[in-house]
């Protein structure tokens, strides 16, 4: 029996709770007819929402409220959600027996501080009963990804993976980079670790197989070959430079190569090159030579290509300094398609097997599962997880921890990469922590800031004005917290930066107060507890990023700061958020910036001060984001059509009108009788369009 299995046997099915307790089944309510509850994109199963009557639990929190709820729970597998008094989900878990698992929480004896804090904050619980523990595991992963509870292990990077798509819905299939739902007909190859890897591979495959990458509409409207044909990266099927039969042969070769039969493809091309050479057709032989070189280039950039692993994902986990790194390598068709590092949010007290097991369930919640998964260490409930993934995939999926041979070399290589990736991250975090400490000392803050918000405006003579906010924290820029504000007020004089900043501040902090309230602790003790918990969570990577900023940086001088401080004072949060202004220096030179802080005269920092460099990076980032947002809005305005202003004219009708009349100006001149001739335009809609352009 493996160590993980021994641990599982001694601790029961609980994550990190005492052993399950055998209890007699209390009388439970009659279960209503089940309804279908989706567990993810590829599987649905039967489940029942189970909400015990908790009228007696009103006003209770912690173990007391759990004791009230547990009395009516069934001895059945399912998923439970623990929520605080505000309705936020704290934790999602699954159990073989809901009654036994929740009883463990009700006892009030916990193995870790994390579980103790979680139970103390619990004000209510919700339950879903499932038919099997496998269904509970799948539903748990689905809910964790959707609800992102604070006390669960969470994937931080949930981007979809890019694939190579060979289309199957056209007489001349094309090759494309694809991300998202795989709804288009064709063959998908991947996943790839990055979009850059897909782009480089497609470029090489175009040189090797001369497949088109243009859109179908571009293909249909060609009268002569495009530039890609001229530079020998497309066979030119659009204009008949190659027959459909010969082009289909190229597509078949590309499928064989991407499916792992690369040796067969290279042998066939090499034979054709030799034959062309013997026939003295050196031009055709040169084409085959270039195709062989392109294929070699693809394989040379695949890194380590295993000989005995056809299709597998390799996971390795490393924990250090209270943080966790999980490195994953993708192997498909015997080729290495790249790797990616993840840094999940997890309590430092959790062991690697627990973190990796929870991570795997979430990772494959919306991704195709390979036939084999190789791990650097055994995870809890490994057999159950393999069975659940097999159920989702509709075929057998094996999960193993290699002990020798090439597979062991692959996991060792992934583990080494995990160590190095976490080492780099810890070094970056340490540097960022020192900068934040210096930032607090320089600007007289009470403590090291956790969330810094930086604001700027961008416009041209007041047109298409946009306000921008970027966010930085202990781990650098937090890009999923960035926000842009389209300036809406008609009372602001074009070009009035003070007025624009006032609108941005009012909208930002009014909404913050409405959604999160004033979270200022009511006492020094409470403040200390909040600060300690926040620090622990950030060190461990487990806490949600705070919604309230500790400090805001404004790109502007004394005038901007006066406007901002007035808004903060009107909202009653002037003492809640520190505001700092950054004015451009003399001759707008970097290094001569002046800073404006309440209660102090304006000042500058030494030219080589690390804090000055840090603030300049923050300001440059908000400049970049503001200018980019402004350009996007300006571009949208430049291509705006008068038809967009007509209520009821959507993209479909707009397209039909433009295809019929050619231009929006021609539409404006059309009579009602002409408008009704357009597909999808009724007489009533025609009158609406006509009246829009004719005031009389």
From residue 195, give the alpha-carbon distance in Å to each of 176, 207, 233, 340, 528. 11, 19, 20, 12, 45
- State pLDDT tens for residues 414-451: 999 999 988 888 888 888 888 999 999 999 888 899 99
3-state SS class at 484? strand
Q: 319-371: per-residue pLDDT in tens? A: 988 889 999 998 877 777 788 888 888 888 888 888 999 899 888 887 788 88
Sorted by where each starts, the structural domains of the chain and their CATH numbers stand as: 3-147 (3.40.1440.10), 162-300 (no CATH), 312-424 (3.30.420.340), 448-636 (3.30.420.340), 642-693 (1.10.150.20)
Asked if residue 374 has pLDDT above 90, the reply is: yes
Angstrom distance (rounded) from CA 115 to CA 104: 11
Tell me: pLDDT of 696 over 60: no
Distance spanning both ends of the chain, measured CA to CA: 87
Q: What whole-number distance in Å separates Cα of residue 533 and Cα of residue 521? A: 13
In terms of DSSP bridges, do strands 463-473 and 175-179 run parallel, antiparallel, or are they unpaired?
A: unpaired
- Taking alpha carbons only, the member of 623, 601, 614 closest to residue 452 is 614
pLDDT tens per residue, range 53-103: 444 455 677 788 888 888 888 888 999 999 888 888 999 999 888 888 888
Q: How confident is the model at residue 586 (pLDDT cuts 50, 70, 90)?
A: low
| Sign of the alpha-carbon dihedral angle for 381, 386, 387, 389 | positive
Give the separation between CA 631 and CA 633, rounded to whole angstroms: 5
Instruction: Convert the pLDDT of each residue in 512-554 to its tens digit.
Output: 888 877 654 433 333 334 444 444 444 333 346 788 999 999 9
CA distance linking residue 459 with residue 405, whole number of Å: 62
Q: Which three-class secondary structure string do you get for 396-456? A: CCEEECCCCHHHHHHHHHHHHHHHHHHHHHHHHHHHHHHHHHHHHHHCCCCCCCCCEEEEE
Measure CA 109 to chain center: 36
Residue 84, SS3?
coil
pLDDT, residue 19, reads 34
Please check whether residue 216 is in contact with residue 363, taking contact to mean a CB–CB distance below 8 angstroms.
Answer: no
Cβ pair 510, 571 in contact under 8 A: yes
Q: Most confidently modeled of 24-38, 393-407, 533-547?
A: 393-407
Angstrom CA distances, 34 to 81, 129, 130, 476, stand at 19, 9, 9, 47
Helix (H) or strand (E) holding 49: strand 44-50
Q: Is 543 left (phi over 0), alpha (psi -120 to 50) or beta?
A: beta
| Phi, then psi, of 417 in degrees rounded to 5 | -65, -35
- Cα 592 to Cα 401, 576, 583, 586, 613: the distances in Å are 58, 29, 9, 6, 11
β-strands 323-332, 335-342 pairing: antiparallel
CA–CA gap between residue 333 and residue 376 (Å, rounded) = 22
Distance, CA of 195 to CA of 337 (rounded, Å): 11
- Cβ distance 16 to 115 under 8 Å? yes
Cα distance between residue 451 and residue 91, in whole Å = 24
DSSP 268-294: HHHHHHHHHHHTT-HHHHHHHHHHHHH
DSSP string, 487-545: ---SSSPTT-HHHHHHHHHHHHHHHHHHHH-----SSHHHHHHHHHHHHHHHHHT-SPP
Alpha carbons 159 and 496: distance in angstroms, whole number: 39
User: pLDDT per residue over 95-134, tens digit each?
Assistant: 888 888 888 888 777 667 888 888 888 888 888 888 888 8
Q: Distances from the Cα of 599 to the Cαs of 452, 502, 593, 655, in angstroms?
A: 20, 21, 18, 59
Residue 148 three-state SS: coil
Residue bearing the bigger pLDDT, 50 or 323: 323
Instruction: Tell me the backbone φ, ψ of residue 276, rounded to 5 degrees.
Output: -60, -35
Surface-to-core class of residue 64, CB atoms within 10 Å of its CB (0-12 exposed, 13-18 middle, 19+ buried): middle
Helices 382-393, 352-363: axis angle to 10 degrees equals 10
Task: Give the C-alpha separation, 354 to 138, whole Å.
Answer: 16
Residue 414 vs residue 586, higher pLDDT: 414
Instruction: Determine the distance from the C-alpha atom of residue 427 to the mean position of all C-alpha atoms in its chain, rounded to a whole number.
Output: 24
3-state helix, strand, coil in the chain (%, to 5): 45, 20, 35
Tens digit of each residue's pLDDT (9 = 90 or more) over 254-294: 888 777 666 677 777 788 788 878 778 777 788 777 777 76
Continuous H helices in 148-243: 195-209, 216-220, 227-230
Between CA 287 and CA 317 the distance in angstroms is 46
The residues pairing with 370 across neighbouring beta strands, listed in sequence order, are none
Closest by CA position to 114, among listed 539, 546, 537: 537
Radius of gyration (Cα) for the chain, nearest Å?
31
Select from 200, 170, 197, 198 the least CA-distant residue to 186: 170
For 236: left if phi > 0, alpha if psi spans -120 to 50, otherwise beta; the answer is left
DSSP symbol at 326: E
Rounded (5°) CA angle 139-141-146: 95
In order of 250, 461, 641, the CA distances from 499 in angstroms are: 61, 14, 29
DSSP label at 643?
G
Residues 378-396 have pLDDT tens digits of: 998 899 999 989 988 888 9
Residue 152's nearest CA partner among 80, 96, 102 is 80
Average pLDDT estimate for 145-171: 83
User: With 60 as the cut, is the pLDDT of residue 303 above it?
Assistant: no
- pLDDT confidence of residue 519: 52
- Is the N-terminal amide bond of 191 cis, ω within 30° of 0? yes
- Dump strand ranges (E) for 343-403: 372-375, 398-400
């Amino acid at each position: 029996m493996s160590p993980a299995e021994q641990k599982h046997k001694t601790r029961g099915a609980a994550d990190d709770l005492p052993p399950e307790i055998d209890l007699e089944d209390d009388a439970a309510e009659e279960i209503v007819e089940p309804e279908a509850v989706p567990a993810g994109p590829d599987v649905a199963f039967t489940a029942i929402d189970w909400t015990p009557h908790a009228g007696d639990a009103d006003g209770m929190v912690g173990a007391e409220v759990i004791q009230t709820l547990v009395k009516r729970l069934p001895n059945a597998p399912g998923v439970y959600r623990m929520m605080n008094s505000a309705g936020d989900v704290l934790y999602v878990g699954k159990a073989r027996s809901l009654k036994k698992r929740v009883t463990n929480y009700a006892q009030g004896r916990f193995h870790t501080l994390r579980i103790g804090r979680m139970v103390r904050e619990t004000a209510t619980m919700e339950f879903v009963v499932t038919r099997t523990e496998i269904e509970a595991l799948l539903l748990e992963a689905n809910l964790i990804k959707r609800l992102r509870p604070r006390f669960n292990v969470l994937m931080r990077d949930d981007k979809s993976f890019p694939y190579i798509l060979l289309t199957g819905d056209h007489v001349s299939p094309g090759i494309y980079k694809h991300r998202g739902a795989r709804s288009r007909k064709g063959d998908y190859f991947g996943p790839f670790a990055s979009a850059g890897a897909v782009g480089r591979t497609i470029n090489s495959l175009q040189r090797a197989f001369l497949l088109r990458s243009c859109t179908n509409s571009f293909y249909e409207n060609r009268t002569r070959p495009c530039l890609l044909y001229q530079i020998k990266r497309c066979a030119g099927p659009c204009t008949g430079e190659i027959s459909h039969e010969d082009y289909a042969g190229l597509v078949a070769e590309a499928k064989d190569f991407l499916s792992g039969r690369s040796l067969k493809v290279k042998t066939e091309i090499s034979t054709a090159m030799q034959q062309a050479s013997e026939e003295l057709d050196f031009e055709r032989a040169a084409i085959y030579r270039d195709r062989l070189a392109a294929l070699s280039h693809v394989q040379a950039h695949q890194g380590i290509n295993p000989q005995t692993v056809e299709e597998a994902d390799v996971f390795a986990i490393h924990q250090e300094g209270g943080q966790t790194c999980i490195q994953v390598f993708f192997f498909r068709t015997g080729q290495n398609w790249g790797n990616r590092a993840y840094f999940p949010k997890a309590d430092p007290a959790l062991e690697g097997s627990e973190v990796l097991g929870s991570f795997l369930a979430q990772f494959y919640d919306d991704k195709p599962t390979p036939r084999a998964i190789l791990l650097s260490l055994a995870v809890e409930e490994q057999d159950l997880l393999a069975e659940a993934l097999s159920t989702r995939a509709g075929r057998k999926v094996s999960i193993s921890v290699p002990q020798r041979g090439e597979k062991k070399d692959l996991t060792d290589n992934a583990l080494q990469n995990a160590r190095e990736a976490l080492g780099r991250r810890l070094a970056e975090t340490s540097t960022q922590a020192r900068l934040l400490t210096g930032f607090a000392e320089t600007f007289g803050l009470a403590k090291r800031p956790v969330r810094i918000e930086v604001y700027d405006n961008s416009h041209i003579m007041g047109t298409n004005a946009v306000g921008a906010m970027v966010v930085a924290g202990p781990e650098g820029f937090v890009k999923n917290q960035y926000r842009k504000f389209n300036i809406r007020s008609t009372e602001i004089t074009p070009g009035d930066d003070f007025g624009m900043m006032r609108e941005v501040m009012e909208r930002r902090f009014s909404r913050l107060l409405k959604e999160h309230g004033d979270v200022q602790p009511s006492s020094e003790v409470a403040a200390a507890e909040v600060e300690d918990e926040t620090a622990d969570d950030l060190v461990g990577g487990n806490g949600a990023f705070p919604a309230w900023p500790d400090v805001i940086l404004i790109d502007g001088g004394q005038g901007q700061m006066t406007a901002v401080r007035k808004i903060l004072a009107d909202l009653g949060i002037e003492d809640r958020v520190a505001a700092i202004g950054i004015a451009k220096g003399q001759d707008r030179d970097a290094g001569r910036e002046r800073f404006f802080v309440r209660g102090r005269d304006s000042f500058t920092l030494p030219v080589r001060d690390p804090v000055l460099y840090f603030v300049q990076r923050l300001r440059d980032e908000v400049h970049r984001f503001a200018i980019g947002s402004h350009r996007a809005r300006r571009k949208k305005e430049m291509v705006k059509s008068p038809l967009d202003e007509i209520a009821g004219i959507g993209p479909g009708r707009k397209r039909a009108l433009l295809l019929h009349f050619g231009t929006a100006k021609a539409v404006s001149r059309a009579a009602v009788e002409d408008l009704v001739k357009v597909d999808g335009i009724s007489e009533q809609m025609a009158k609406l369009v006509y009246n829009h352009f004719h005031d009389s």
